[in-house]
Structure 1
Amino acid sequence: MLRIRRMAGALVAVVVGIALVLLALMLLLAGRPIVPDRLAAAAVVVQAPGSRSPAEAFPPTVPWSAAKTDDLSRRLGAVLGVEAVVPDRSFYVQALVDGRPAAVEGQRQDSYEGHGWSSVRLGGLSLVSGAQPRRPGEVVVDRALGFRPGSSVTLLTATGPVPYTVTGLVDAPGYLVADAVAAELAPGVRAIGLVLGPGADPGAVAAAARDVVGDDGRVLSGDERGALEPRDDARARWVGMQALTGVATLAGFVTVFVVASTFAFSVAQRRRELGLLRAIGATPRQVRRMVYGEALLVGGVGAVLGSIVGAAGAPIVGRALVEAGLEPTTYEVRYELLPFVAVLVLGPVVAVLGAWSAARRAARVRPLEALREAVVERRRMGRLRWVAGGLLTTLGIALAVGTATAEDAQDGATFALYAAMALITGMVALAPAAVRPIVGLWRLPLRQGGGAIGLLVREGASTAARRTASTAAPVLLTVAFAVLVAGMVRTTTEAYAAGRAADVDAGQVLVPDRTPGLSDAAVAAVPGAAMLPTTVFAPENGSGTTPRAWSALGVDTTAFIRTDRGARVVAGSLEELNETDTAVVAESVRREVGDSYPVVFADGERVTLRVVAVVADRSVRADLLLARETVRRHDPSALTSTIYLPGGGDAAVSAPPGAGARVIDVATWAAEADSSEDRLVWLFTLMLIGVSAGYGALAVANTLLMAAQGRAADLRVMRLAGATRRQVAGYVAAESALVVLIGAVLGGVVAFGALVSIRAGLSQQVGAAVELVVPWSVIGGVVGLCLLLALLAGVLPTRRMLRERAIRMPS
C-alpha cells in the first residue's frame, strides 16, 4: 500500500501527460485539409500552377487568363466521362444591410466572395427560392441576410457600392451573379471543376486530364482536393497545428520532467528500504531493475488511463478550437488507431526515461543506509550532475543568445522555448547547490518570528538539499514556463504595436469596417493617397523555375512623390512611373533600370514591364511599385488595406457613409492592426500556460503529498518532543512555503533570462527600444496557486496523521 501511494504522483503525471499527447495527436491528425463543400460535387478539379514565396506559408497559385481558361475548358470538355467543365471565378462582394456591410462571423472568406452562377454545379450551394441570375444587376444571396426575391440590395464591390436586384436565395454564405458579370468582376481563374457523367471513373478522368493539362496546372481528385480549401482556412489550420505541436512538445517534456522528479523524490524517501535490500544481498542491477519495473508498471497503467481521458476530451477540445478561431469550421475530430498505438508505447518509454536517473541513484545506495535514522545527505552533488547541469545551462544561454539575434519573430519564439527547456533542466540539476543561498533569504524572518520551528525548517532544508530541490522542481517548472510564455507574448505584442505606431507619420488612419479592405469608394475622400496592393508572379533572378509571388503596390505617382513615403531611390527616377508598362522594383528583385521584366498579373495576363527605378529594400512596403490604374485594370477585386491621414483640425477626413470604412487614431490602429492574430496568439499562450501551470501545480500537490506521507515519523517525534499540533502544522506550512519560494526564485531566474533575450531580439527586429513587459498578474497567480496547493497538500495530511491516537517512536 505504501509503495502504491509513493507511485501515485508518478502515475498521475503519466496519465495527464499521455492524455495531453493523445489529445494533441488526435487533433493534429484531424487538422488535415478537407474538400471544401463548394467544390465537393466536382470529382476532379484542375488547380492553377503553384508559386513560391518565402514570406507566405500558403503562396497563391498563378491564375490563368481568360483565353487560357477557355482553351483548357475546351480541351478538358473533350475528355471521356466529363459532363461539364466549370471555371470557378471568385471576386470580392458584400451586401450592405442598414447602410453598413453585413457582419462577417469570424471573417469567413465565403461570406464576402462572389461567384458565377455556373459554380453552383460544383457543390455546396442550393437554390431554396427564386430564380438564377441571368442579366447584369441580378444576384442570388444567402437567405440568412434577410432579403427576399425581387427586393433591392446594394452590393459593395472593389470599386464601390452597386445596386442589384435579388432574384433568388441559397442556403449558405456567398453571392452568385451571371457568369458574364463574374468574368468582369473576377481576376484570373485558379480552379476548373469537372463534373462527371454517370458511371465515370474519377481516376481515369483525372489521368486523362493530366495528359491534357501538362505543366499548365495540377489535377486533383479524392482527398487531394483538400488543397483547394480557402487560404484563410489553411492559415487557421496552420495556427492550430503550431499550437497543438507546442502543446504536445511541452506535454512530453513536462511529463518526463515530473516523472523524473517524482521518482527522484521517491528514491530519496526510500533510502533505508533500498539500503535494507542491499544489506540482504540485492545487487545494484537488481535494484535498478526494481525501479525500472515500477516505472514500466506506472507507464503502462498511466498510458491506458491517459488514453481513455484523452479520447474522451478530444471532441470537446476540437469544438472549443473551432469556436476560438484556431481551426476552421470544417474541422472535425476523428478516432484513428495510430495515436492510440503511439501513446501506449510512449507511456512506458516516458516513465522509464523519467526513472533513469533515479534508478542509477537507487543502485548506489549502500547497505549502511538501512541503519541510519537521520535524513542528512552525506554525499555531495556528483561530478556527472555538475557537468550535466553546466552543459544544459550553457546550451540554454546559447539558445537565449540565438533568441536575441533572431531576425524572425517565429524563430525567436522557438529559440526561447527551447532555451527555457534547457535552462529549466539545467537549473533542476544544479538546484541543490542553490538551496542554501535561497534559504538564507528567509533566515532573518525565520529567526525573528519562527523560533525553534523556524530553525528546524531552515536547517532541514539545508541539510536535505536534494530532497528540497526535488520538491521545488515542479514549482520551478510551473513558474518558469507560465512567466516566460505570458511575458514573451505581451512583450512581443507591445513591441510590434509600438513599432507600427513609430513607423507611421500620420495623425489618423482610415481602416476597413466590417470588410476585408477598402473599396475605391472608401478612399475617394483622399484621392491619390490610397495604395492598391496586389500580387504579381515572375521567375526569380530570371530563372525558369516555379515563379515567385511578388507583392506589388499600385500608387498615384505624383501623390506618392509629394508625400515622401520614405522610398530610398538607388537608381533611376520615380517620376517615370506611369500607368502603361513601367515598374519600380526593390533591390531584392535584382533587376536593373531599363530591364524588361515579364510578370503575370492577378487576371492571368502576362505583361512585360520596363524597370524605371530601383529602391532600397524595406524602404517601401512591397517588392514592386506600379501605377494604380495598372493594378486596378489587372486586378478588379483588389482592396486597399489602410490609408494614413493627417490628424485633427480642418484636415480631418471622415469616412464616406456605406463604404465600409472608419477613421481612427494611430495608437488605436497600431493596437488593432493585428488584433485577430494577436487574439489567436494569446489563445495559444493560454493553452501553453494551462498545460505548464496546471500540470506543474498538480505535480506540486503530488510531490508534497508524498513528502507529507514520508515525514510521519519525523512529525511524531516533534510531538513527543513537546510540540503542539498547531506548531507541527505551522512547521509543515512554513516548509511548504519555503519550497515554493525556492522553486519560484529559480523559475523566475530562468524566465527572466529568456525574456531579456527576447526583448533584445525584438529591439533588433523593430529597430527601436522595446520595453520588457513583466506579467506580474501571471506571476502572482501562478505562485499563489502553487502556494495554496502546497499548503493544502502539506497541512491536510499532517492534520490527519496528528489525529491518529497511536503515538509511537519510529522503528
Structure 2
Amino acid sequence: MLTTTLRGMLAHKLRLALTTASIALGVAFLAGTLVLTDTMGTAFDRLFDKVAAGTDAVVRTEAAYSASEGVSTSRAPIDAAVLDQVEQVEGVRAAEGSVSGYALLTDTDGDAVIPPGGLPTTGATMSADEKLRGDVKVLAGEAPDGPHEVAIDATSAEENDIEVGSTIKILFQGPTEEFTVVGTVGFGDDKDLGGSTSAYFDVATAQRVLGTPGVFDTIEVSADPGISQAELAERLSAVVPEGTEAVTGDAVSKENADAVKSNMKMINILFSIFAGIALFVGGFIIWNTFTMIVTQRSREIALMRAIGATKRQIKRSLLFEAILIGAGASAIGVALGLGVAKGLKVLMDVAGFSLPTTSLQVEPRTIIISMAVGTLVTVVSALVPARRATKVRPVEALRESAADTGSFSKRRALVGTTVLGLGTAGVLSTLYADAPMVVFGVGLLSVLVGVIVALPMAVRPLAAAIGAPMKLRGLSGELATQNAVRNPRRTAATAAALMIGLTLVVSMSVFASSLKTSFGEVIGDKTDADLYVTSASSQGPGFSPTVVAAVEDVEGVDSVAASGWGMARFEGHDTSYSAVDPATAGDLMQLDLSQGSLSELGDDTVVVSRDIAESNGWELGDTVDAEFAATGKHQLELVGIFDSKGWVTDNFVIGLDEQNALAGPQLVTSALVKVAAGADRDEVQDAITAALADHPDAKVLDQDAYEAEASGFIDGLLTFVTVMLLLAVVIALLGIVNTLALSVFERTRELGLLRAVGMTRGQVRAMVRWESVVISLIGALSGAGLGIGIGVALSRVLEDQGITGVSIPAPQIAVYVVLAAVAGVLAALGPARSAAKVDVLKAVVTD
C-alpha cells in the first residue's frame, strides 16, 4: 500500500504541485506572521535593554493600577528631595533624576521632523554620569549642559541635514523654544530608538520643558561593583517614602518591552486571522482535490478491494498521502515564511505602520506550529474523501467508469439553510433586539458556514444565469455551462474558496465606504465648525495645547473647541474617554445633551452617554467611580447625559483641565474652529496657517480637506487589508486550476469524442476557459452578495460608535467581479491547452 500511495502521488505531478502550493502559501503566511512578530518582539526587548543598560534600579511612584504597566503608564512625579535619600543608601554608586515627555524636533527650516507610523517624538534627560546612560552614546559633539543645548538622535540629524552647531526649534506641551544642537546620539549599533525621534537635555532643562521643576518622573540608580540589581532594589525599598517603589533595571526594561508587545497583540491577531483564512481556503482545495482523486480512482480502489485490500488500508493509504503532502507543503511554507515576513514588514512600512525590527528570528515553535497546522489542515481536509473511498465496492471494478455526479443531497440543503437561517436570526437580533455582540459574531460565522454548505443548491440557477450570455458564443459556451453544473458539489467547493476571499474583501470595502460616509456626515451635520485643526501627521498622537492659544489669537476666529482623548477605569472597567473644553464644546460639537450641561464640567465631574446612564441606572448628581493611572481613584459627579454620538464617540466626557489634573499633561487631539460672522473663511484659514508657523506639529484644514485626509487614512487601511486577503484569492485561483486540470484528465475520453465528431482545438480551449469563468463568477457573485450583506450588517451594528451611514461602493465591487472573471480565464489557460492536446485516437480507445 505504501508503494502504491507513493506511485499514485508521483504519477500526477501537476496535481501534486498545485495541491502542495495551495497549502504551502497558507503555511508561509502563518510562518511569516510568527517570524515577524517574534522579530519585532526581540527588537523591542533589545531596544529597551539598550536604554536601561546602565541602570541597576529605578525609584518611582507606584502606579494607581497595574493594567497599564510599562512605557504607557502615567505615574505621579516623585519629589526631587527623594534623590538625596537614594544617594545615601549603601551600594549606590550614582543616582540621577530623570524626566521624559513630548518633544517634537524641527529642522533648520522650521519643518517638523515627524517619524513614520505615528511613532513617538520623545524628549528626555541625558544623565551626567556616562555609565548611567548605558548604550545611549554621544556619536558626535558632546552631551547637553546648558538651558539651550540639546542632543538629538543621529537618524534625525542625518536625514534632515541638522549639523552639530545648528539652531533648531523644539515643540513641547508648553511654549516652543530654540536650542543649539551640541551632539548626536546613538543607541548601541542603532542611530535611533526604534524609528522614533529623541531629544536629550540636561536635568534642569528637562525639568523645565518636559516636566515641573522640583520633581522627577523617576530616579535612576547605578550600583557599586559587586552589588546585584535585586540587592540594590531591596536596600532602596527600605528607605524610599510611602507611595514610591524601587524596582530593578531589568524589571523596568522587561516591563516596557512587554507593554509595547501587548499593544502589538492586535497586529498579531490580525495577521493570524489572515493566515487562518488562507489555510481555510487551502483546506477547501485539498478537500476538493482528494474528492476528485477518490472519484477518478474509484475503479482502481475497487480493484484493490477485490484483491484483498481492506477498508482500513484504503483509508490509511489516502490519509498517508495527505500526511506526506501536508508535511512537504508545510516544510516549503516554513521556508517561504522568511520571505513573507520581509514582505509583511515592507507592506506595513508602505501603509505607514513602521515598527522596529532586527534580524529575522526563527524560533523552534514557529517551525513546530507551522508544520503541525499545515499537516493537520491537510489531513482533516482529506478525512471525508478518505472515508468515502472506503465505501467503494469491489463490484465497481467491473464497471467501465465510475463518474461521480456529485448530486446535491436534500440533507445538506436542509443543514445549510438551517444554519443560514439561524445565523441570519442572530445578526438581526443584534441589530434590532439589542442582543450582545457575541451573538452578532456567531451569527455572521453561521451565515458564512450556511452559505458554504448550501452553495451546491445554488450552482445550477447561478450557472444558468451566468451561462446565458455565453450561449451566444456557440457550442463552446453551452458545453461550458453544462460542464460547470455536471457536479454541483465540486463546482461549489471550487467556487466557495474564491467566494470566501471576495466576501471578506467586499465586506471590508462596504465597511470602509460606510465609515467614510459617516465621517462626512459627522463633520457636516454633527459639528458647527468652519475649520479643523489636526496633527501634522495623520497618525500623530496630537499637538501641543499652545496651538489652541495661537489659533484663538487669530483675527476672525470666533471660538475654538479643543478635544483630547485618554484611557482610564470607570466603574472598574478599562475604557476610553474624551476631554473637551466646556466653554466651547457645546456650541461646536453638538453633543445633544438631554439632561445637564457641558458648561458644568469642572473638577471631578463627568458627562456620559444615555446608553451608559441607562445601563447603570445613573441620574444627574450620581457619583461615578473613576481611576486614573497617574492620580488614582476619584469620584466624579454626573452633570450631564447626551443622547447621540457624533464628533465625540466615547461614552465618558470630562473637561480638558480636569484631564490634565487627573491624568497628567496631555496633548490635544483636535480642535474645531468657528469663524466670526462677516469674516472670510479662506482668509482666516491663511491667517491660522501663518500663526502655526511656530507650531509645525499642527495644521488647519477646511471640511473637504479634513474629510479627504481621513478618507485617505481609511483607504490606506483598506488597501492593507485587501492586499493581505489577496493571498486567499490567489490560493482560490490555484484551486480552480487544480479542479480544471483534474476535470480535463477525468474527461479525456469525452474530449476525444468531441474532437472526433468535429470540435476544433480552439473550441475545446474556449469551452474550458468559459467553464472556468462560470466557476469564477459563481464564487465572485456569491462573495459579492454575501460581502455586501456582512458589510452592511457590520456598519449598522456599530451605529452607536458613530457609523451613521451605509454606503455600497458598487463600481469597486463590479471591478472585483470583473477581475475574478479575468482571473478565471487566466487560471484556465494551462488546463485548456491540455484539453486541446488530447489525442483523439488514444482517447477514443481508452478502456
Q: Deviations over 1:52-107 (max 9, x none)?
A: 799x999942412342x643x45555555443334431222334435534231315
Q: Does 1:526 align with 2:552?
A: yes
**SS in structure 2 opposite 1:663?**
strand
Secondary structure, aligned partner of 2:838: helix
Bigger shift: residues 121-130 or 20-29: 121-130
Q: Does 1:39 align with 2:52?
A: yes
The residue type paired with residue 779 of structure 1 is Y
Does the 8 Å contact 2:509/2:791 carry over to 1?
A: no
- Among 120, 125, 146, the alignment partner of 2:136 is 125
Q: State the match for 2:250 in structure 1.
A: 222
CA displacement at 1:9 relative to structure 2: 3.3
Q: Aligned pairs, how many?
A: 792
- 1:570 pairs with 588, 595, 601, which one? 595
Q: Deviations over 1:166-187 (max 9, x none)?
A: 4444344422223223223334
| 2-structure distance, mates of 1:680, 1:313 | 20
Aligned to 1:708: 744
Instruction: Report the residue type matching 1:19 in the other structure.
Output: A
1:499-518 to structure 2, matched below 5 A, reads 499-513=522-536, 516-518=542-544
2: distance between equivalents of 1:624 and 1:122?
41
Q: Contact 1:51 / 1:548 at 8 angstroms: preserved in 2? A: no
Q: Distance in 2 between matches of 1:497 and 1:462?
A: 46
| CA spacing shift, 1:450–1:575, aligned 2, 3 Å | closer
- Superposed CA deviations along residues 652-678 of structure 1, whole A, max 9, x for unmatched, are 3222032224321123223424855x3
Verify: 1:801 aligned to 2:820, yes or no.
no
Query: Quick one: structure 1 residues 624 and 184, their matched pair in 2 at CA, closer, same or farther if it must change by over 3 Å?
Result: farther
Q: Distance in 2 between matches of 1:147 and 1:754?
A: 51
| Distance apart, 1:494 and its partner CA | 3.8
Evaluate the alpha carbon distance shift between residue 274 and residue 191 of structure 1 in structure 2; reply closer, same or farther with a 3 A threshold: farther
Q: Answer whether contact 2:64 2:627 (CA < 8 A) is retained.
A: no
| More off after superposition, 383-392 vs 257-266 | 383-392
CA distance, structure 1, for counterparts of residue 393 and residue 63 of structure 2:
68
Matched, 1:437 2:461: yes
Measure, in 2, the Cα distance between the counterparts of 1:742 and 1:549. 44
Structure 2: runs of 5+ lacking an equivalent: 1-6, 187-191
Where in structure 2 are the equivalents of 1:586-597 lying within 5 Å? Answer: 586=608
Does residue 265 (structure 1) correspond to residue 292 (structure 2)? The answer is yes
Give yes or no for the alignment of 1:667 onto 2:704: yes
The offset of 1:808, in angstroms, is: 4.2
2:503 to 480, 487, 503: 480
Work out whether 1:466 is the aligned partner of 2:475: no
Q: CA 1:333 to 1:642, structure 2 compared with 1: closer, same or farther past 3 Å?
A: farther
3-state DSSP class of the match of 1:650?
A: coil
Give CA-to-partner distance per residue, 1:135-166, whole Å, 9 cap, x none: 43333334435445555433333233323344
CA distance in 1, matches of 2:491, 2:591: 60
Secondary structure (helix, strand or coil) at the match of 1:662 reads: strand
User: Is residue 53–residue 59 contact of structure 1 (8 Å, CA) maintained in 2?
Assistant: no
In the alignment, the residues of structure 1 paired with residue 772 and residue 307 of structure 2 have an alpha-carbon distance, to the nearest angstrom, of 36
Aligned residues of 1:736 and 1:794 also touching (Cα < 8 A): no
Deviation at 1:134, TM superposition (A): 3.6
Instruction: Say whether the 8 Å CA contact 1:407–1:761 is kept in structure 2.
Output: no
Identify if the C-alpha distance between structure 1 residues 238 and 740 changes in structure 2 by more than 3 Å, giving closer, same or farther.
same
5 Å matches for 1:295-314?
295-311=322-338, 313-314=340-341
1:720 maps onto 2:750 in alignment? no
What amino acid maps onto 2:707 in structure 1?
A
Structure 2 counterpart of 1:162, from 177, 181, 187: 177
SS of the equivalent of 1:176 reads strand
In structure 2, relative to structure 1, the CA distance for the partners of 1:772 and 1:154 (3 Å cut) is: same
**Rounded Cα–Cα distance in structure 1 between residues aligned with 2:276 and 2:126:** 46
Gaps of 5+ in 1: none
Which residue of structure 2 lines up, in the alignment, with residue 177 of structure 1?
Answer: 201
CA distance in 2, matches of 1:627, 1:807: 82
State how 1:133-282 maps to structure 2 within 5 Å: 133-142=144-153, 143-144=157-158, 145-148=160-163, 150-171=165-186, 172=192, 173-187=197-211, 190-206=217-233, 216=244, 219=247, 221-222=249-250, 225-228=253-256, 237-282=264-309
* Contact 1:697–1:785 (CA under 8 A) maintained in structure 2: no
Counterparts in 2 of 1:223 and 1:687: CA distance versus 1, 3 Å? farther
Q: 1:691 aligns with which of 727, 735, 739?
A: 727
CA distance in 1, matches of 2:63, 2:338: 38
1:104 paired with 2:114, answer yes
Deviations 1:273-302 (A, max 9, x none): 333334444443333222222212212222
Q: State how far apart, in whole Å, the 2-side matches of 1:217 and 1:390 are.
A: 61
How far apart, CA to CA, are the structure 2 residues paired with 1:273 and 1:675? Answer: 59
Residue 285 (structure 1) aligned with residue 312 (structure 2): yes
Structure 1 residue 355 displacement after superposition:
0.7
How many angstroms apart in 1 are the aligned matches of 2:347 and 2:761?
A: 47
Query: Match for 1:136: what amino acid?
Result: P
Contact 1:122–1:195 (CA<8 Å) still a contact in 2?
no
Distance in 1 between residues matched to 2:173 and 2:185, nearest whole Å: 23
Map of 1:11 onto structure 2: 20
One-letter amino acid matched to 1:219: V
Q: CA deviation at 1:520?
A: 1.5
- Verify: 1:28 aligned to 2:65, yes or no: no
Contact 1:89 1:116 in 2 (8 A): no
| SS of equivalent residue, structure 1 residue 495 | helix
Q: Structure 1 residues 281, 497: closer, same or farther in 2, change over 3 A? A: farther
**In the TM superposition, what is the alpha-carbon distance from 1:700 to its structure 2 partner?**
1.7
Deviation at 1:386, TM superposition (A): 3.7
Query: Residue 353 of structure 1: CA displacement?
Result: 0.4
- 1:97 aligned counterpart, secondary structure: coil
Match of 1:339 among 363, 366, 374: 366
CA distance in 2: counterparts of 1:87 and 1:330, whole angstroms: 30
Query: What's the TM-score once normalised by structure 1's chain length?
Result: 0.83
Deviation at 1:694, TM superposition (A): 1.6
Aligned residue number for residue 613 of structure 1? 639
d(CA) in 2 for partners of 1:596, 1:491: 37
Q: Distance between the aligned counterparts of 1:539 and 1:512, measured in 2? A: 27
Task: Tell me the TM-score normalized by structure 2.
Answer: 0.80
C-alpha distance in 2, partners of 1:674/1:80?
Answer: 59
Deviations along 1:404-424, one digit per CA (max 9) or x if unpaired, are: 579999x79x966x7666545
CA distance in 1, matches of 2:349, 2:101: 26
Change (3 A) 1:97 1:317: closer
What letter corresponds to residue 206 of structure 2 in structure 1?
A: A
* Equivalent residues of 2:168, 2:178 under 8 A apart: yes
Instruction: Output the aligned Cα RMSD.
Output: 4.4
Equivalent of 1:779 in 816, 825, 832: 816
Question: Equivalents in 1 of 2:263, 2:145: separation in Å?
Answer: 36
**d(CA) in 1 for partners of 2:354, 2:640:** 41
The one-letter amino acid paired with 1:723 is: M
**Residue aligned with 1:127, SS:** strand
Equivalent residues of 1:585, 1:615 under 8 A apart: yes
Contact 2:505 2:722 in 1 (8 A): no
Letter in 1 for 2:200: L
| 2:4 counterpart residue number | none
Structure 2 CA distance for partners of 1:50 and 1:632, relative to 1, 3 Å: closer
Say which SS state the counterpart of residue 160 (structure 1) adopts. coil
| Aligned partner (choices 822, 829, 844) of residue 792 of structure 1 | 829
Q: 1:250-274: CA deviations, max 9, x gaps?
A: 2332232221122122223333333
Identity value in percent: 22
2:76 to 46, 61, 64: 64
